[in-house]
Amino acid sequence: MNQSSSANEKKISSPDSSEVFDASPSKTYHEQAYIDQTLRLREILKTLPAFTKDYFRAVEPTTSARTRISYAYDIRVFFHFLMEVNPHYKNYTIDQFTVQDLERLDPVDIEEYQEYLKVYKNEEDRQITNTEKGLSRKMSALRSFYGYYFKRQIISKNPTLLVDMPKLHEKAIIRLDTDEIAMLLDYVEHGGENLTGQRLAYYEKTKNRDLAILTLLLGTGIRVSECVGLDVQDVDFKNNGIKVTRKGGNEMVVYFGEEVEHALKTYLYTTRKSTVPLSGHENALFLSTQRKRMGVQAVENMVKKYAREVTPNKKITPHKLRSTYGTALYKETGDIYLVADVLGHKDVNTTKKHYAAIDENRRRRAAGAVKLREV
């Protein structure tokens, strides 16, 4: 589908080549997201001590804008903790902190912060709780923050190194079984049979789009952020591949099979073709009912809506669909390196942990291996 009619206009042919889609030139989803995130980070940095800008400037080459935003929020929580809990900083304002304040703290202060993170109130007086994963992320952010100044000998001690990181307990991986995948897709295809009025109209308007998204996620394992970032011209039916932008900005072609091809073509040449996007969203593959590029939250809500009807006992998210694909691919191929490559994992050990270490069929056999009483 990557056919160009000129340097300024891209045309995407339909199967019989008698019709075309026009995709006007504009910033890509990822280019615009980077601009938005950069501006957002600058605003957050205005609410932090002035010296922190040096740290964020230094980590820019090795982190994504999204990661730096998360770190900025997490580090702001740390300074608010000091003003709220530590008697020495009770009368401080955020702009009064200097880099020397970091080395005035002891390991016990960091331990108190770790305890504080479990339940606290944010600036809007909302109660915030952190799970093991949330605690670990915030402590990692603080360690990275301290490490920058310690490594450059701006501070003489680093109390975060003397505090143990929160222990992360492994959780069972939730995924769809083979029959549940079929049930989910069937439900999207035929879910309107019992609907009437506005609900039926909405279903008919979104059915092909939703089926295309779910089939794509289940058939390629791409991330939801990669899915919403797709442009029409990223789809290549000649080779049955989609060009996705992975974490870190690397581009990669992910290939798909006939089921994904059929779902995408059905959407493209019906719903997508008949929708006129709003200005700035002309290239977006998946459009909302407001004719804008769909966002991550919208796809997450859509997946949850359908999954609740089919698997009410499983909390299914787009990431769980990714896990479903990874598990199925590993079972079919037994090639953990292929799974890691297709999913875009930088470290194959991450893939091994999630997909190769668990053999549920083997576990099921163990259930009947031990007899408690002779029959």
End-to-end CA distance of the chain: 65
Q: Is 80 a catalytic residue?
A: no
Instruction: Retrieve residue 113's tokens.
Output: 């912060």
Among 76, 322, 325, 330, the active-site one is 322
Query: Burial of 125 by CB count in 10 Å (0-12 exposed, 13-18 middle, 19+ buried)?
Result: exposed
Give strand pairing partners of 4: 10
Q: 275 near 284, Cβ under 8 Å? A: no
Q: How far apart are CA 168 and CA 261, in angstroms?
A: 40
Which string of b and e fits 271-289 if b means at least 16 CB within 10 Å? bbeebebeeebbbbbbbbe
**Which residues have a Cβ under 8 Å from the Cβ of 45 and sit 6 or more positions away?**
52, 53, 56, 72
Among 157, 319, 331, 353, the active-site one is 319
DSSP 88-117: GGTT--GGG--THHHHT--HHHHHHHHHHT
Among 247, 314, 331, 352, the active-site one is 247
A 10 A CB-CB count for 106 gives 13
**Which residues have a Cβ under 8 Å from the Cβ of 164 and sit 6 or more positions away?**
none
Q: What are phi and psi of 119, to 5 degrees?
A: -150, 120
Q: Which residue has the tokens 């998210």?
A: 317
Q: Is 322 a catalytic residue?
A: yes
Among 174, 171, 137, residue whose Cα is nearest residue 322: 174
Q: How far apart are CA 370 and CA 375, in angstroms?
A: 13
Q: At 87, is the secondary structure helix, strand, or coil?
A: helix
Q: Is 247 a catalytic residue?
A: yes
Among 68, 175, 345, 354, the active-site one is 345
Q: How far apart are CA 209 and CA 302, in angstroms?
A: 11
Q: Is 223 a catalytic residue?
A: yes
Residue count of the chain, please give it: 375
Among 223, 281, 293, 320, the active-site one is 223
Q: 74 near 113, Cβ under 8 Å? A: no
Q: At 235, is the secondary structure helix, strand, or coil?
A: strand
Residues designated as active site: 223, 247, 319, 322, 345, 355
